[in-house]
Structure 1
Amino acid sequence: MSDKRGFPRRSFLKTLGSLTAGLAAFPAMASSQVSAPRRPANARYMGGFSAPKLDNVKIAIIGVGARGPTHVEHIAACEGTEIVAICDLYEDLCNFSRGIALRTAPQRHANLKLYFGDPHAYRKMLIETRPDAVWIVTPWEWHAPMAVDAMNAGAHAFVEVPMATSLADLWKIVDTSEQTGRHCMMLENVNYGREELMFLNMCRQHVFGEILHGEAAYIHELRDQMDQLEAGRGSGFWRVHHRAGTNGNLYPTHGLGPVAQYMSLVRQDDNFRRLVSFSSPARNNALYAKQKYKPNSPVNTIDFSGGTDLNTSIIKTLRGRTIMVQWDESTPRPYSRHNLIQGTHGVGAGFPNRLALDYCWNTATPALRKLLQLPESAPDKSSDYHAWIEGGGFDAFYAYFDHPLYKRMEAIGQKYGGHGGMDAIMNFRLIECLREGLPLDQNVYEGAFWSSVAPLSVKSVQADGQPQDFPDFTRGNWKTTQRLEIVS
């Protein structure tokens, strides 16, 4: 028996039955290097894949704790969507998010069903509601099994970062996407930030010249998540354990995703080759726990020595370009994603936003001549690339290089928000692609490569900085995948 999309119901039930009953609570990110197996005969390459149009997208959401309600609000507000189910361990969280959906568009989401109380309730949800797409907003160790189950159920899977925590699980996701013909996209919202989109536009217009180097980071002091561990609920309840027991870069994709798209990695221009990684000693989490919590607190029973305060990794691409990637959730310092892209004509950087460009009158476009205040009377004199263009000078570049997608969806971002609007732009754009049958802006292979930095960094740190090669999740097909152009 098959449904209207041709998915065998019996096959899905058999797949669910074959899965193990439970998952390890906090599996280590390290995994053996996985070589590229031969693509099965019944599978297809998913780079540039366009799924059939969906006039009405039936959507289920798994996980409505910290991030989930934001996704619920955005999806509920999108025309052509119907939220058919919400699933979480906790009934109160399900009811809260159902209220958001019903307040936003009560008629379209009137038949929304709730599933709660069982970690595996989502499997029943997939069988009973048959969604077209599933948003997975759960602890990291659940991302891979839930994405695989969703695709095997005939749904497209959209997974919060990281896509998975081991190379083996990333291969499972890639193989399942290829075998089912279903999208699996990592919900890397930072790729939809205004500055990131503008830098992408500037890269595509060759403003920075030939791209040579990038810098990416997730520097975000999150020690107060220990409060949730004491409460026994919330993202800190599980995330603190990852920080305590994993020595590497736990969260690479927020900074790396945009830089990888600037460089057009995993597409026809270039690809990841290898990585080296080093970590600092682990000090700040234990100090914080001792200073803030009582000696008998569950926080002070955790051994944080197996983690790190700061990890630095260097990626080398096949074309010889370099990317520095840093991760730090433990030290007292301001937030940063670095967001730096360096080329032969200059550099763009974030936190704070700034530019430095090397142009003279004869090499600059009319827009750059005006922005750089180049004198026509001295055509051989270069712009002052020894000083940063910041503040109002940087803001002037928006008029010429704001990304067309951002300009079209700016009002949506301002209305619905989420990290300055990037969440809303991402979700509205994603649903737009599903409804119009367009390729997604991020394919399954990009999510796999970006996420693989975590387990590879762990292996490199364990080996005292020995280089670790990236597996080729595309099996060589990245060479034929067109780069992401400037969509309007």
Structure 2
Amino acid sequence: AGATAAGAPARKGETMVGVPFEGRSTVRVGIIGLGNRGGSMIDLFLAIPGVQVVALCDPVKDKTARAAAKVTAAGQPAPATYTKGDHDFENLCKRGDIDFVYAATPWDWHFEMAKTAMLNGKHVGVECPIALQLDQLWELVDLSERTRRHCMQLENCCYGRNEMRVLRMAHAGKFGDLLHGAGAYNHDLRGLMFDPDYYEGPWRRLWHTRLRGDLYPNHGFGPVANYMDINRGDRVTHISSFGTPSLGLAQYREAHMPKGDPSWKETYIESDRTISLVQTAKGRVIRLEHDVSTPHPYSRINSLGGTKGVFEDYPERIYIEPDHTNDSWGDFSKYTDFDHWLWKEHANPPGGHGGMDYIMVFRLMQCLRVGLVPDFDVYDAATWTSPVPLSHLSIKAKGAPQAIPDFTRGMWKKARPGVDSEKPEEA
């Protein structure tokens, strides 16, 4: 067999590119992890017709009980609950009455939960990052291909109104030939990371003692990858990353945490700001940033530039020819004609991240129910997450470029649909 595209290991199954879900009248969902994220996302699953939440898992029993009460309050049968320790999710995944497993747990568990779900015949969606090591990303790709189950990176920020509008404008040629884009997770999390009640334990802060690179690339990377049709006509080939000193969390601890606090035993190595440059096969450049340790208003940057102009977010502004002249930004709100059909149908969606979470869950459940090819797949999950290990390696090597694997094994050369989807004629 030997190695294939871009040093990829030989394929063990068949590609998942273009593979539809099996249609079903009701999508039966199991949820693992019912903290801040899972405990709120359950509301969105319950708000969508044709979706039943049949099983819940969290070792913290009161969180599971609160979530179960939401299910019955929505008029659904009481869900099965799994609360017996950290590995009870394995029993949830073994159930015969689940179509889709959703995991919203600390990062350390994502790989194992995605793997367990697929090995038990379930499609799975996982919060970001989907895994933390390159070999784990390959294993998820191989497992998806072998088991014929889709494995998806959720909370990908691809379904925001601005992101979907820019995507459709890019595909309509409004930016001309695409040249560059940028995405980020610049979000001051110092207070939350030292808050003993917000996260269940210090798991998120502890990653700042382990890695130096971009711990959370998906929010910024996903939308720009879509604009450029990454894995659908172009692919990312290399990443070079640079990191600042790690000072922010230690200074915050000094100012706010009592001397006896366990956090004083921690040594932070994660760069306060990581800046990465990603090259594509077509020569385009994507800039990624990550900063959760210094004062900064929330920003995912979300910019796209081409030969006819540029869009930048936070705040949203646009400059494209021939619409804008005189070197002054134009009004992005004048481009509502380019809104995606999902935003035209759901003008005021509920839930977090400005409604994009609801749009994402609605669309994913629609694909599962109607039997459509998902808008994004395991190749996107692996690509969007690959900067986690690779940026760390690049920073350690003083910015030396690291090859990003071709997780599609050559299938990226073929154009295919993605998040810029057609409205289905529902069965």
**Separation of aligned partners in 2, 1:451 and 1:175:** 16
Q: Which residue is 2:338 aligned to?
A: 401
The one of 10, 18, 36 aligned to 2:8: 36
Task: Report if the CA contact (8 A) 2:185-2:289 is conserved.
Answer: yes
**Separation of aligned partners in 1, 2:11 and 2:95:** 31
SS in 2 for 1:342: strand
**Amino acid aligned to 2:32:** I
* Greater per-residue helix proportion: 1
Asked if 1:157 corresponds to 2:120, the answer is: no
- Any idea what the Cα deviations from partners look like across 1:137-195, whole Å, max 9, x if unmatched? 11111111111110111110011111111111111111111001111111034111010
**Amino acid aligned to 2:333:** D
The one of 280, 286, 289 aligned to 2:253: 289
Taking structure 2 as the reference length, what is the TM-score of the superposition? 0.95
The one of 217, 228, 231 aligned to 1:252: 217
**Residue 111 of structure 1: how far off its partner (Å):** 3.8
**Separation of aligned partners in 1, 2:326 and 2:281:** 29
Task: Report if the CA contact (8 A) 2:183-2:303 is conserved.
Answer: yes
Q: Which residue is 2:295 aligned to?
A: 332
Task: Report if the CA contact (8 A) 1:356-1:385 is conserved.
Answer: no
Mapping 1:199-278, distance limit 5 Å: 199-228=166-195, 230=196, 234=199, 237-267=202-232, 269-278=233-242
**Separation of aligned partners in 2, 1:226 and 1:45:** 39
**Amino acid aligned to 1:121:** D
The one of 46, 49, 64 aligned to 1:79: 49
**Amino acid aligned to 2:222:** G
**Residue 276 of structure 1: how far off its partner (Å):** 0.5
Task: Report if the CA contact (8 A) 1:226-1:299 is conserved.
Answer: no
- Any idea what the Cα deviations from partners look like across 1:88-109, whole Å, max 9, x if unmatched? 11000001111112212x2xx3
Asked if 1:487 corresponds to 2:422, the answer is: yes
**Separation of aligned partners in 1, 2:134 and 2:223:** 21
Structure 2 segments unaligned to the other structure (5+ residues): 1-5
**Residue 340 of structure 1: how far off its partner (Å):** 0.4
Q: Which residue is 2:370 aligned to?
A: 436
Task: Report if the CA contact (8 A) 1:89-1:118 is conserved.
Answer: yes
**Separation of aligned partners in 1, 2:14 and 2:58:** 33
**Separation of aligned partners in 2, 1:480 and 1:406:** 28
Mapping 1:51-90, distance limit 5 Å: 51-90=21-60
**Amino acid aligned to 1:407:** K
Distance 1:313 1:160, change over 3 A: same
**Separation of aligned partners in 1, 2:42 and 2:417:** 31
- Any idea what the Cα deviations from partners look like across 1:11-38, whole Å, max 9, x if unmatched? xxxxxxxxxxxxxxxxxxxxxxx94111
**Residue 218 of structure 1: how far off its partner (Å):** 0.5
**Separation of aligned partners in 2, 1:441 and 1:410:** 20
Task: Report if the CA contact (8 A) 2:175-2:305 is conserved.
Answer: yes
**Separation of aligned partners in 1, 2:97 and 2:421:** 34
Q: Which residue is 1:387 aligned to?
A: 328
**Separation of aligned partners in 2, 1:426 and 1:235:** 26
SS in 2 for 1:191: coil
**Residue 455 of structure 1: how far off its partner (Å):** 0.6
Runs of 4+ in 1 over 6 A off after TM superposition: none
**Amino acid aligned to 1:264:** D
Structural RMSD (CA): 1.5
**Residue 469 of structure 1: how far off its partner (Å):** 0.4
The one of 34, 56, 63 aligned to 1:93: 63
Taking structure 1 as the reference length, what is the TM-score of the superposition? 0.83
**Amino acid aligned to 2:50:** G
**Amino acid aligned to 2:63:** L
SS in 2 for 1:192: coil
**Amino acid aligned to 1:199:** V
SS in 1 for 2:346: helix
Using the aligned pairs only, state the percent identity.
38
**Separation of aligned partners in 2, 1:319 and 1:262:** 13
SS in 2 for 1:330: coil
**Separation of aligned partners in 1, 2:163 and 2:30:** 29
**Residue 325 of structure 1: how far off its partner (Å):** 0.4
**Separation of aligned partners in 2, 1:217 and 1:133:** 29
Task: Report if the CA contact (8 A) 2:156-2:218 is conserved.
Answer: no
**Residue 410 of structure 1: how far off its partner (Å):** 2.3
**Separation of aligned partners in 2, 1:299 and 1:95:** 31
Structure whose alpha-carbon radius of gyration is higher: 1
**Residue 480 of structure 1: how far off its partner (Å):** 2.6
Q: Which residue is 2:3 aligned to?
A: none
**Separation of aligned partners in 2, 1:352 and 1:236:** 34
**Residue 47 of structure 1: how far off its partner (Å):** 1.2
**Separation of aligned partners in 2, 1:217 and 1:385:** 29
**Residue 134 of structure 1: how far off its partner (Å):** 0.1
- Any idea what the Cα deviations from partners look like across 1:35-70, whole Å, max 9, x if unmatched? 411112xx1101121021021111100001010022
The one of 82, 90, 101 aligned to 1:134: 101
Task: Report if the CA contact (8 A) 2:156-2:222 is conserved.
Answer: no
Distance 1:57 1:227, change over 3 A: same
SS in 1 for 2:223: helix
**Separation of aligned partners in 1, 2:63 and 2:78:** 18
**Residue 481 of structure 1: how far off its partner (Å):** 4.8
Asked if 1:468 corresponds to 2:402, the answer is: yes
**Residue 244 of structure 1: how far off its partner (Å):** 2.9
- Any idea what the Cα deviations from partners look like across 1:276-300, whole Å, max 9, x if unmatched? 0000001110000010011111122
**Residue 441 of structure 1: how far off its partner (Å):** 1.1
Task: Report if the CA contact (8 A) 2:24-2:370 is conserved.
Answer: yes
The one of 268, 271, 274 aligned to 1:308: 271
Deviates more, 1:282-291 or 1:294-303: 294-303
Asked if 1:186 corresponds to 2:153, the answer is: yes
Q: Which residue is 1:380 aligned to?
A: none
Task: Report if the CA contact (8 A) 1:282-1:309 is conserved.
Answer: yes
**Amino acid aligned to 1:188:** E
